[in-house]
Amino acid sequence: MKTLCEQICGVIKRKMYKDTATDIWPAWNPKSDKIVFVVELTKKTNISRNYLYDYDLEIIENERYCSAFEKESYMVMEKEKELLTSQIYDDIDRLQSLQKKVSTYSKELMDKHKNITAIFPSIVRSVGYFKSGKHRFIESLCISIRVEKKVSGLIPLEEELITRYLGTFPTDVIAGDFCCLGDRPNDFHENIKIGSAIHAGLKTDKGEMLGGTMGCFVKHKLFGMCCLTSAHIVLSQAENQEVLKDGYREYDRNSLKPVYQPISKNLSQFGQVVAAACNEGQSDTPGVEVALIKVLCRQPTSGSFPLTDSKRTPTFAFNSGNIADAKLVRPLTEVFKFGIETGPTIGLLGIPGVSVRYRGGIRLENQIVVMPKKDAPFAKHGDSGSPAFIGISCPGTEAAIGLVSGGFDSGQVLVTPIHAALKAVHCPPYLHRFEDADSGFNDEGCESMDCS
């Protein structure tokens, strides 16, 4: 059946002549058990169905299709923010039970349903979104399941219906494609800073340089001064899969894994990947995909951040080295991050305990979710690896909670917990403290190598 449907998809594409189809995929209707072919178009096109009469088609315009489902996901997020603002959920035991249920069943669900991108613990369900005048929100604990492809009333051919309940918790299926937030970084710094643009020579599917954001600094007992970032910025999907097999891997100089800052014709190496960790986590531990980069030259002198194009810059420097467990922090707490694409932004902490699956197939448990505070995005492509902080409005209490890894079109951004990331790459349970920001490391401390 799968092979036959793939052949039919090819026939449909050839018959469409000049019409632009980004994708054609087979689905089945659970009410009639009929096969339907979903045709995704990049633009509105008049298609004559006469020459396609052999097949049942569901034709969708990608822009409107993505916009409609993005809107539903956005509305759910805004409703959740509204409920969290108006009330503090007092049944903590039941909320913790929901978070544990997500972790317990996420692997089984993702193994069974390849279309699932993430599983969220939530306090609101969206019902009847595509039924005119019948859309409503139900305020109750539920399991919000994001799927890559969703067309009302149709299920991708090799998928099954997702169960309506997990234990006593109802499920809510919403379209949402998770994307890693790597992109094209730039800006040179004589002394590297948190939030600097970095890359490791990897390319995107379009052949462009893949880069991201430098995370916080940490003093490793073996490697000395290092910085953290998301592994997908400096390792390919295949390399990440290799790390996943062992959970942790170290690299020596012969591995040739240099890291540069920024992108330019004259490459400016500042460090080298010396270790990486990738593990999916368990019901009570977060999953991580993190890389440790040894700083070889252009040593950091403080926990300050670079200026952005708009000259916006944080009013504080992260010199304390403090970290915090987001699970112990109240939802809607303000979260600050600095990324190379969006610069300094403020978001709101959501309900933690999200399970997500990267496009490379790697699944991560117990991730932190951050929602945009207003209409401005918390993070975009290029911001992967950005550290996220709480407590910046009260000097001396600021603490890192994690590293930005990816997000959804609705604006929700996922953050890998910092305590788990540090533990995974054998670092101490704290970040580097700049005792005197005016007299830190300098370029004279570079190792004897050519970093130009």
Distances (CA, A) of 139 to 127, 147, 353: 11, 21, 19
Tokens of 299: 């040593």
% pLDDT > 90, the chain: 39
Res. 50: pLDDT tops 60: no
Whole-angstrom distance, CA of residue 62 vs CA of residue 47: 15
Amino acid at position 155, single letter:
I
Cα Rg, the chain, nearest whole Å: 23
CB 197 within 8 A of CB 211: yes
Res. 201: pLDDT tops 80: yes
Tokens of 45: 């096109």
Tokens of 268: 């400016």
Q: Are strands 142-147 and 169-175 parallel, antiparallel or unpaired?
A: parallel
Mean pLDDT of 16-34: 77
CB 403 within 8 A of CB 385: yes
Res. 402: pLDDT tops 90: yes
DSSP 20: -
CB 180 within 8 A of CB 117: no
Helix residue ranges per DSSP H, 202-332 = 231-234, 237-246
- Residue 289 sits at the vertex; the CA angle it makes with 123 and 206, to the nearest 5 degrees, is 100
Which residues fall within 8 angstroms of residue 92, CB to CB, at 6 or more apart?
Answer: none
Give the pLDDT of residue 144.
93
Whole-angstrom distance, CA of residue 367 vs CA of residue 72: 22
Res. 404: pLDDT tops 90: yes
What the chain holds in terms of domains, given with CATH numbers, is: 2-62 (3.30.300), 68-176 (no CATH), 197-442 (2.40.10.10)
Whole-angstrom distance, CA of residue 409 vs CA of residue 175: 10
Closest CA to 305 of 273, 264, 337, 334: 337
Whole-angstrom distance, CA of residue 62 vs CA of residue 433: 48
pLDDT digits (tens, 9 = 90+) for 372-383: 988 788 998 889
Question: What number of helices (H) and strands (E) belong to the chain?
Answer: 6, 26
CB 340 within 8 A of CB 305: no
Which residues fall within 8 angstroms of residue 109, CB to CB, at 6 or more apart?
Answer: 116, 119, 145, 162
pLDDT digits (tens, 9 = 90+) for 241-266: 999 999 999 998 888 899 999 866 56
Number of other residues whose CB lies within 10 A of the CB of residue 58: 16
Amino acid at position 373, single letter:
K
Backbone angles phi, psi at 42, to 5 degrees: -80, -20
% pLDDT > 70, the chain: 85
Q: Give the chain's largest Cα–Cα span.
A: 76
Whether cis (ω within 30° of 0) applies to the bond prior to 428 is no
Greater confidence (161 vs 367) lies with: 367
CB 410 within 8 A of CB 74: yes
Give the pLDDT of residue 155.
85
Global pTM value: 0.79
Average pLDDT of every residue of the chain: 84
What's the gap between Cα 129 and its chain centre? Answer: 26
